[in-house]
A = this chain, B = another copy of it.
């Protein structure tokens, strides 16, 4: 199993799938993993409805469905910390999206670059 450096990952396979081909979770949404396209750092996990997915494709800016506010949420509209889409990939089961983005500023509302700024466990180096 050949291991490449992160920046070398570019999928050669394309899928011609619509949102209706995706498998949704119990809330009728699809989870989206958002990753910094340059560094490989995972920034956050959020959720999309069909409308959020279509808006993301139309605008090129990551748009989620806010579960707390129950409304479309274009990331950055309040903070200016937009996420510009570089690529969207779908997993084997068609129930999760991976987004590679160009992140402006910090992804986390706490001001951290990534929402995953706290370790629960780690092995010693």
Q: Which residue of B lies closest to A57 (CB)?
A: B121
When the two chains form the complex, which single residue of B39, B44, B88 contacts A119, counting CB atoms closer than 8 Å?
A: B88
Q: What chain B residues lie within 8 Å of A85 (beta carbons)?
A: 121, 123
Q: Which residue of B lies closest to A11 (CB)?
A: B119
B90 and A118 contacting across the interface, CB-CB below 8 Å: yes
Chain A residues bordering chain B, tally (CB within 8 A): 57
A56-95, CB under 8 A of B: which get 1 and which 0? 0100100000000000000000000000011111111101
Q: Which residue of B lies closest to A98 (CB)?
A: B116
The copy count of this chain in the complex is 2
How far does the alpha carbon of A6 sit from the alpha carbon of B90 in the complex, in Å? Answer: 22
Closest 7 CB pairs of A and B: A40-B40, A87-B122, A6-B40, A15-B118, A91-B115, A89-B116, A26-B26
- Contacts A/B (CB < 8 Å), 30 sampled: A3-B39, A4-B39, A6-B6, A6-B40, A6-B41, A9-B39, A10-B122, A11-B116, A11-B117, A11-B118, A13-B119, A15-B119, A26-B26, A26-B27, A33-B42, A35-B42, A42-B98, A44-B91, A45-B95, A60-B123, A85-B123, A87-B121, A88-B119, A89-B118, A89-B120, A90-B116, A91-B116, A92-B112, A92-B115, A96-B116
